[in-house]
Chain A
Amino acid sequence: MSYLNLFKLFALVLALMLMPFTAQASIDEAINNAVAPVANAVSSVIFFSVPVGEAQLPLIVLWLIIAATVFTLYFGFIQFRVVGQAIRLIRGVYDDPKHAGEVSHFQALATAVSGTVGLGNIAGVAVAVAIGGPGATFWMILAGLLGMASKFTECTLGVKYRNEYPDGSVSGGPMYYLSKGLALQNKAALGKFLAVFFAIACIFGSFGGGNMFQANQAFQQVVIVTGGASSFMADKGWLFGLILAVLTGAVIVGGIKSIARVTEKLVPFMAIWYLVACLIIILMNFDKIGWAFSQIFEGAFTGAGATGGVIGALIQGFKRAAFSNEAGVGSASIAHSAVRTTEPATEGIVSTLEPFIDTVVICTMTALVIVITGSLTSGAGLTGVELTSHAFGSAFSWFPYLLSVAVLLFAFSTMISWSYYGLKAWTYLVGEGKTQELIFKFVFLVFIVIGSSMSLGPVIDFSDAMIFAMSIANIIGLYMLMPVVKREVNQYLAKIKSGEIKRVR
């Protein structure tokens, strides 16, 4: 039986399962009621919080901030020292023309970025400013800048300890550097444990932030532009999920690469379009730019407009930045490790641009648009993509439609990327093989339907919880392996300085 037939069968089974529900609204409700308690239980464990003043500080957020700060200091503010080098590497000035046809630095970065630029940038940021006030933006930018060092560390390691198979294909990522890197330090058992822990968290992360959150917010946006509560789609999240599952299935199960390729190619243009649209809105409110920035700085240090004061703003900013750029989470290192290079440090250097593009540029734009249009007051009560859409709508009534296109494409490309990350983690655990892959892919598709049927709260908590779980194993490994990264980058930068590695153009 071909995969496509198997896939049709799956869609049919799913449809039959949903048949007994008489009223359509109850399908969404039933799914929500069944999954929400599990999601809530999982997230309450991961998000063990300690009270700080009035706010609850989840330890995991502290974990990510500390890691990013440690890497920033340990590598001597590497993210600011190598900006020029990163751009030269992307332009290919060190690439031997004999190696043309291999994965370039630009391609590895572009693919990794299209995996991270998702609804975290549009909807996640809106959640941050809705709860954390305008000040959350400041902390988000700071987290993005610090996160560049975390990304640098994990992507250097991803390339250094990747597996290259005899057939020429490569597998890299935290699973491999945790197990191989720590084995070299005579901590093979710990390395293996962390690698397995990471892989399990990564599988669920791919169901959560890489899937349910994307599907959920894409559905919300479709409902908003088709007429809100009175929309035909309003209580048919399962139907939207089913359509999205069929499309995703066509790519990941049916192997219809053209869809994936079209999406990959459209995403960069959508990202540019999104930035241009944001700039237009910001320029339309030209007179309020100063005010918006003062709101952001004031909020950052006084906690104005934030639930839980300064700490509340800080937590939201850091949480959403980490969720969006995934620095310290380890996922992007899977994509980055495919690059063709003999110097692992080069990809680490290039990867520092990823949190910069994702968080410092795109997320900040979203936040600015929401703040500058006054949507925090006029759209009080709104959160997630609804808030962003409201802000876009306040400039031109038709902007939310364009936003929907961007949202759908971002969601789709992020889902395809994450299905790949999850699959890599899954095959790391159960071994390579067509059957094993199919099992994972079908479960992934089921979660699309679940994600679009549920309400935002439990979805976002579950997504965050899983993504942060990945960071627990990953960052322990990064701490232990950071001397390796330091050696790699220092010898590389020395070679550049001495002229041993020459520019070819």
Chain B
Amino acid sequence: MSDIYILAYDGSPAARRTAEFAAGRAKLAQAQLHIVHVLEWSPYSFLTQEELAERHQRRTQELERATQSILEPLVSELTAAGQTVTSEVRYGNVAKTINEIATEKAAKVIYVAKSNETGLASRLLGNVPSALIQIAAVPVVVVP
């Protein structure tokens, strides 16, 4: 069985560059690329009555949108180029969830784009790549 590489992908230009880089590496190593997209979500956030009632419906729509407009184009492009690609969408804390998936899949490495945020918010609240570096159970490659 070939190795599994995780690619964190949100459809941004930076993520696109990361995807190209990761795809190149995976090709060289004949590894399988597992593309993940995480929708930020906390089970402890507060919702209004209407949001509660519509939640299941919204979730279905959000998952569909993420799969169709973010993951599908990349998956079909890479598959067409002859690569073994799988993908999934999940809800949760972005960094934690990516690490969970990597652990579940026994992945060899995680590819993630460098955060473009440099402002105060990023300093105070952190960003996905730095959080991932701190918690990840497998090596993390941060692509600029």
Contact = CB atoms under 8 A, between A and B. Distances in A.
A377 B4 CA distance: 74
A150 B39 CA distance: 37
B129 to A, nearest CB: 22
A384 interface: no
B92 A169 contact: no
Contacts of A340: 55-56
B43 A106 contact: yes
A111 B41 contact: no
Contacts of B47: 103, 107, 110-111, 264
Given A101-B62, A104-B44, A416 B49 contact: yes
A308 interface: no
A488 interface: no
B64 to A, nearest CB: 11
A420 B47 CA distance: 13
B100 interface: yes
Interface string B52-65: 11111101101100
Interface in A69-117: 92, 95, 97, 100-104, 106-108, 110-111, 114-115
A360 interface: no
A97 B92 contact: yes
Given A102-B55, A111-B52, A168-B56, A95 B46 contact: no
B48 A260 contact: yes
A170 interface: yes
Contacts, number: 85
A261 interface: yes
Given A97-B92, A100-B92, A264 B46 contact: yes
Contacts of A104: 43-44
B103 to A, nearest CB: 12
A257 interface: yes
A268 B56 CA distance: 24
Interface string B33-77: 000000101011111111111111101101100000000000000
Interface in A404-427: 416-417, 420-421
Nearest to B104: A97
B49 A335 contact: yes
Contacts of A260: 48, 50
Given A100-B91, A110-B46, A168 B52 contact: no
A169 B45 CA distance: 19
Interface of B: 39, 41, 43-57, 59-60, 62-63, 90-92, 97, 100
Interface of A: 92, 95, 97, 100-104, 106-108, 110-111, 114-115, 164, 167-171, 257, 260-261, 264-265, 267-268, 334-335, 338, 340, 416-417, 420-421
Given A260-B50, A416-B49, 20 more contacts: A95-B43, A97-B90, A100-B97, A101-B39, A102-B55, A104-B44, A106-B43, A107-B43, A107-B47, A114-B46, A164-B56, A168-B54, A169-B56, A264-B46, A265-B46, A268-B46, A338-B55, A340-B56, A417-B49, A420-B49
